[in-house]
Each structure stands twice: as structure tokens, then as C-alpha cells.
Amino acid sequence: MQTKTLTLDEIEDLALRALVAAGTSEDNARPLAVATAATEADGVASHGLAYIPIYCEHVQCGKVDGRAVPVVSQPRPGVVTVDAATGFAHAAIDAGFDRLVPMARDQGVAALAIHNSYNCGVLGYHTLRLAQAGLLGLGFTNAPASIAPSGGARPVVGTNPFSIAAPGAGGEPVIMIDQSASTIAKSEVMKHAREGRPIPVGWALDNEGNPTTDPNVGLKGSMAPSGGYKGVGVALLTEIMAAAMTGAVLGKDASPFSGTAGGPPKTGQFFLAIDPAATSGGAFAERVTALAEAIHAQDGARLPGDGRARKRQAARTAGVAVDCATLERIEAILA
């Protein structure tokens, strides 16, 4: 695979120009471009620039409204809701965070519910921003069905990630968990399918529930839940939070995030922002830091998010190596 090194500013600019060229308003393209650069910095290439051609295709076919204007409401003192209007989740989340963060600081805790939304990319990118604001951030997002229930073979819930980011000194979270209910994110299987590479056993199942190494067979079957029935439980928890609690479309009824068929998926996101000072008596930072240090004190032990944090720091000065084939697909949009 041939690569080219780009700075984070170059990645953001490239993503922005492609999205706008495809018909996205700059107000919607900007937060998505910023998130794309941040995702590449974290080393999550499957959700970075590789997704820009898909986003552009979905704007052009109407699966997402590139010119949508999110509608923000406050139905209760501690609750913000956003109707994403079938637009990009990133703009809706930004609009919601503008109210969520000050509300959580003032009241100690606040919730944000988003519906009529689209793929929010890397969920941890959003909870990290809450931690950078000094808040404990919890996030949930549902997705089109791709995980079958225990004992079944037909997908009912999505890979449904959840994330938690615990604030620390220096603007970075002490602990940052971001994981899907499946063994691996579905976008990784899609990436292997695009590149014609087999997937490891344990990533996906065929339509009869048997393990497969063929990514195309897996995409027509189901994703393997992480930890068996426990992964199904995590997916159901996230479905309740991100779809039932927000009024979004359930994963079993949502159109796919891939391809052009089916119209807008209308999925949802749910965030909780908590001011640790309101609940911990001022002991939060000390205790969460002690927890992290107890793990790092062991040779070879690491915390969730450690790898992304190291890559993020390095990318700020060294840039990111991007697949040239991805760059060619994006340049074709700009041609």
C-alpha cells in the first residue's frame, strides 16, 4: 500500500473541500472535516478520510441531507434535544454540545438526545471533547442492524458503540473507553472488502451464524458480538439509550450506512455530561488518576485509549500517512 504523509490541517482541508463539492453546506462540512482529521490522528483510518467518498456519495443520493439545519430544543431543565433533520450527526452534536456543556457545569449533570441522525463517526471523538471541557462524558450511538441475538442468525441490533471519557489535567482524558458491541467495527470489515483482503476468524458470521473469513459474506450475514451474549447485552443497552431514549429509528428498521439504497437511516445519539465536582466531593481527579497509575505501573499493561493518545500526540508534529488510493478517490470528487 502506497501512502502519502499529510498534516492534520491538510486532512481537514481536503475533507472540507470534498464534502462541499458534493453539495454539503460549509456549516455541516466543517465539523465533519475537523472530526475526520482528529480520527486520522488517532490512527482510526477506517473512519477517517476513507469515509469521505462514502459521505459524499450519500449526500448526492439523498441518504443524508448535506444542507440540513439541526433544530435544538430544551424540553426540561437538564435535557437538550436535537432533531438532526436527516443531516450529518457532527453538526447536530456540535449544536447540542453548545448547550449541554454549560448546562452540565451549572446543574452538575445534563443529557443530550439526538434523533433523525446519521453515522457519527468515532464516538470517542465526541466524549473526548466533553472530557476536555472538564466533564465526565458518556456517549451511545445506534446503527443499522448487524448483530444477531443469542441463538439467532438474523441481525436485530447494530454494532452500537458506547464511550466514556474521564477528564484529567492537560486537556486529555485520564481514561477513555470507546468500543462497539461487536468484536470489531463493521467499517473494518467493509475496509477489508474494498481492499479484497480476508478477515480474521471471529470478526463476522455468515447468514447461518457460522464463522467466515470472507468479508463480503460477513457483510451479508452478521457481525460477531464481543464476548458472545455479553456483547448482545451491550448492543441492547446502547439501542435503548441511543434509539428508544431519543426517539430515533431502531437499528432493525434503519437503512444501511453503506450503499445508496434505503434513504436516511435516522439513527440517534445520546450523551450524558457530568461535572465530577458535583458528585465526588472533589476527589474524582485523585481517584481516577490513582486507578490509571495502578494499571500503568504494571509492565506491559495499558489502558483503553492509550494507543490513540500516543498516535494523536505524534500526528500533531509528524502528520499522518494516508493511503494513496483513498486520496485518489477524494481527488476524483474534486476534479
Do 164 and 22 meet the contact criterion of CB atoms below 8 Å apart? Answer: no
Measured distance between the N- and C-terminal CA atoms of the chain, rounded to whole angstroms: 23
Query: At a CB cut-off of 8 Å and minimum separation 6, what does 87 contact?
Result: 28, 64, 65, 66, 67, 68, 69, 70, 117, 118
- Report which of 313, 259, 285, 242 is spatially closest to residue 41, judged by C-alpha positions: 313
What letter represents residue 131's amino acid? A
User: Is 26 designated active site?
Assistant: no
Catalytic residue among 58, 146, 180, 188: 188
What letter represents residue 24's amino acid? T
Instruction: Report CA dihedral (189, 140, 114, 78) to the nearest 10 degrees.
Output: -170
Give me 36's grid cell. 475526520
Q: Regarding beta strands 320-323 and 71-76, do their DSSP bridges make them parallel or antiparallel, or are they unpaired?
A: unpaired
Catalytic residue among 12, 40, 47, 182: 47
Catalytic residue among 12, 40, 46, 180: 46
User: Is 73 designated active site?
Assistant: no
Q: Is 3 strand, coil or helix?
A: strand
User: Is 46 designated active site?
Assistant: yes
Instruction: Supply the residues annotated as catalytic.
Output: 46-47, 188
